[in-house]
Chains A and B, each alone.
Chain A
Amino acid sequence: MFRLQGSKVLAVDMTGDAVKAKNGSMVAYDGQMAFKKMSGGGEGLRGMVTRRLTGEQMTLMEVKGHGTCWFADRASEINLVSLQGDKLYVESSNLLATDGGLRTGTSFTGMRGASQGNGLFTTTVEGHGQAAIMSDGPAVVLRVSAQYPLTVDPGAYVAHQGNLRQSFQSGVTFRTLMGEGGGEAFQIRFEGDGLVYVQPSERNTIAGDV
């Protein structure tokens, strides 16, 4: 059971079940807990190869036990996401914790990933349960529907879920090449039906410079 204590601390009450959390993000616990390192990208040999190839090295740990465990990471704001069989796409650096029953994997993002400054791959979380994602500043959840597509800055994008198609947009013009760009040369456009999480802060991306 995930709950927020303030906006920067995640408290998880456990009764013998397991949660997956970012390596080293535990700040305190009471009761009995055991910590074990896990590796992202799926299990077994295939997962290992995936990790090596994608560079999406999620270092997760499995926490199991009875009691309450508190998680936090560098005073980032935490958002709870509940999944009912749908898929959450999130940067591995923004993922704090997930229910033990959720599957985590890796997917290819193409140009979008490169423009975000995050590499070409992203982490997916799938199944039924809760996940906690981190953002720099409180994140807003924006709904995308068929009539209302959404365009976001790659640096402010945190995660998305639902049935969304994403495409990469570039606003590079003659002026940009002359060094007169507005600083918003690249955007990600979401179409379909789902939710997008956006943070009030921008990571350093190539797009921010042009």
Chain B
Amino acid sequence: MGFREINSKMVEATVVPGQRLFSQRGAMLAYKGEVSFTPNTAGGQGGIMSMIGRRVANEDTPLMTVEGSGTVLFGHGGHHIQVINLSGDTLCVEADRLLAFEGTLQQGTMFLGSQGGVMGMVRGQISGQGLFTTTLKGHGAVAVMAHGGVFEIPITPQRPVHVDPQAYVAHHGDVRNKLSTALGWRDMVGRGSGEAFQLELSGSGAVYVQASEEKL
């Protein structure tokens, strides 16, 4: 299964009976075959408790379940789409960047404060991620949206990567992130270089960065 990229802004997914897909509501462009789209009031998986969790966390982007047999085309807002294949590791991504993902993946919500305490919460605020972020875990494919093209930077223990919070899209693997500041006296007097805050990602995995500093 998985997603096939038609062009940089459209993906095609094959749906077979018994295997579900989740996608952002309204992201379907066209389909062939017998496919049904059911709005997902729970906003994902995991029953009523995780639904409340997502509501509270403001990570409850309306999702729909795609079932049946056929092929479906997805795209949204002319944004570039990057397909990420997961093999057992965890992907952290903002809920509104999620276009579609396979039902084999476990969806969850992560509290940013759990990684780095108060600084984690500050980081979420600055990078516009909010206090929570969505995690996807398991084996399967995810389609993620970004403004402009996306490129992948590998992270190895020897080489931590710093990313502009506005250009950050997603990351996967065993990665710790922290907010690093390069605030000097120049920023105080309004002569900063515009790069005062950076996300420092260390560990092993990969980070996806978009060619733009605009949020979706």
Contacts and interface: CB of A to CB of B under 8 A. Distances in A.
Interface of A: 5-9, 23-31, 33-37, 59, 61-62, 67, 70, 72-75
Given A9-B149, A27-B167, A61-B195, A72 B212 contact: yes
Contacts of B55: none
Contacts of A73: 212-213
B167 A37 contact: no
B214 interface: yes
Given A36-B186, A61-B194, A72-B148, A28 B163 contact: yes
A81 B191 CA distance: 29
B163 A27 contact: yes
B99 interface: no
A6 B193 contact: no
B162 interface: yes
B149 A31 contact: no
Interface of B is mostly: loop
Contact of A26 (B151, B164, B207): B164
Contacts of A59: 194
Contact of B209 (A7, A28, A74, A75): A28
A8 B214 CA distance: 14
9 tightest CB-CB pairs across the interface, nearest first? A75-B148, A24-B194, A8-B211, A61-B193, A27-B167, A72-B211, A35-B193, A75-B212, A23-B194
Interface in B120-166: 147-149, 151, 153, 159-164
Nearest to B146: A75
B118 interface: no
8 contacts: A7-B149, A8-B148, A24-B195, A28-B153, A28-B207, A30-B160, A37-B193, A72-B211
Interface in B89-134: none
Given A24-B193, A61-B195, A30 B161 contact: yes
B46 interface: no
Contacts of A28: 153, 161-164, 167, 207, 209
B183 to A, nearest CB: 11
Grouping DSSP codes into helix (H, G, I), strand (E, B) and loop, the A interface class, with mixed when no group exceeds half, is strand
B210 interface: yes
A21 to B, nearest CB: 9
A208 B194 CA distance: 33
Contacts of A37: 186, 191-194
Given A37-B186, A70-B153, 9 more contacts: A8-B148, A8-B149, A28-B153, A28-B209, A30-B159, A37-B191, A74-B214, A75-B147, A75-B211
Interface in B10-41: none
Nearest to B194: A24
A27 B160 contact: no
B182 interface: yes
A59 B182 CA distance: 18
Given A8-B149, A35-B193, A29 B211 contact: no
